Amino acid sequence: MRHHVDALRTTISRRGFLIALPLFVAGCSSTGLNSQTNYAALPDEKFPLRQVPIDKIKPELRRQEVAYETTHAAGTIVVDTTARRAYYVLGDGRAVRYGVGVGREGLAFAGNAYIGRKAEWPSWTPTENMQRREERYRKLAGGMPGGPNNPLGARAMYLYRGGGDTHFRIHGTNQPQSIGLAMSSGCIRMMNHDVIDLYSRVEVGARVVVIQA
C-alpha cells in the first residue's frame, strides 16, 4: 500500500512539473520577447520604420525599465553624458533607461532645462558655423525637410531655459550605430524607436537634467 502511495505521489509531482514547465519556459523568454517588441516595425509612422533585430543592439543599450534611485521627480529626463545613458524617471525608485550617443554640442551643455517644443520627423538647419565650414551645409541654409535621411531622425525635443531656445536637442538619428558613442557633431541622439517612446511619455514643459563629467 505504501509503495502504491509513493508511486502515485511521484506521478502527480511529475505531472505538475510537466504542466508548470511551459510556464517556466515562457517566463524565461518573456524578457527577450519584450525587448524585441520594443524595436518592432512601425508601419504607421509618416516614414515607416523597419524592425531592428534585437541582436543588433548591445544589451546595455536596449530600452528597459531599471532600478534608479534619484531625488528628481517622476516625469524628469536625466541625461548622463559620460555614461551615454538617458533616464525617464518613473518614481518609486524606477526609471526607463535608454542608450544615447553624445555629440560635441551635447558635451557643451549641463544643468537644468525644460522641453520647450516637440516635433515629429523634424526639419533640420545646419548651424552658422557648419555652413561657414562646408559648402554642403550652405546648400541646406533653408532647412532640410524631415525624413529618413534627416540627422534629427523621427522625433526631436527642444530644450529651453528662461523662455529661450538653448539649441540643445534630444533627437533621433539615421545613424543607429552611433548610439553609445561620442560623436563629432550633434546633441543627444537616440535610436528612432527609443526617441519615439520617450517623446510619447513627456509633455512640453517637462524638466530635463543634463549631467556632465
Question: pLDDT tens digits for 94-135?
Answer: 999 999 999 776 667 889 999 999 999 999 888 787 788 888
Band the pLDDT of 193: cuts 50, 70, 90: very high
- DSSP assignment letter at 71: S
Domain that holds residue 96: 58-211
CB atoms near residue 48 (< 10 Å): 10
Domain-located, residue 43: no
Look at residues 177, 173, 168 and name the one whose alpha carbon lies nearest to residue 152.
Answer: 173
Could you tell me the CATH number of the domain that includes residue 169?
A: 2.40.440.10
Band the pLDDT of 184: cuts 50, 70, 90: low
Distance CA 172, CA 190 (A): 5
pLDDT at residue 22, as a whole number: 34
pLDDT at residue 126, as a whole number: 81
What are the backbone dihedrals phi and psi of residue 7, each rounded to the nearest 5 degrees, phi first? -65, -40
User: How many distinct structural domains can be found in the chain?
Assistant: 1
As a whole number of Å, the end-to-end CA separation of the chain is 74
pLDDT at residue 32, as a whole number: 42
pLDDT-wise least confident of 31-35, 122-126, 136-140, 166-170: 31-35
**Catalytic: which of 3, 4, 171, 193?**
171
Residue 171 annotated as catalytic: yes
pLDDT at 29 over 70: no
- Percentage, residues of the chain above pLDDT 90: 63
Band the pLDDT of 185: cuts 50, 70, 90: low
Integer CA distances (angstroms), 2 to 7, 8, 13, 30, 105, in order: 9, 10, 16, 42, 78
Distance CA 94, CA 69 (A): 7
Cβ atoms of residues 169 and 188 within 8 Å: yes
Domain-located, residue 174: yes
pLDDT tens, 31-47? Answer: 344 689 999 999 999 99
Band the pLDDT of 6: cuts 50, 70, 90: very low
Domain-located, residue 189: yes
Cβ atoms of residues 65 and 95 within 8 Å: yes
Domain-located, residue 137: yes
Query: Residue 207: helix, strand or coil by DSSP?
Result: strand
Look at residues 183, 212, 202 and name the one whose alpha carbon lies nearest to residue 96.
Answer: 202
CB atoms near residue 86 (< 10 Å): 26
Band the pLDDT of 62: cuts 50, 70, 90: very high
Residue 28 annotated as catalytic: no
Domain-located, residue 5: no
pLDDT at residue 196, as a whole number: 98
Distance CA 17, CA 82 (A): 47
pLDDT at 55 over 90: yes
**Catalytic: which of 4, 72, 167, 187?**
187
Domain-located, residue 48: no
pLDDT at residue 14, as a whole number: 42
Query: Residue 20: helix, strand or coil by DSSP?
Result: helix
Domain-located, residue 200: yes
Domain-located, residue 11: no
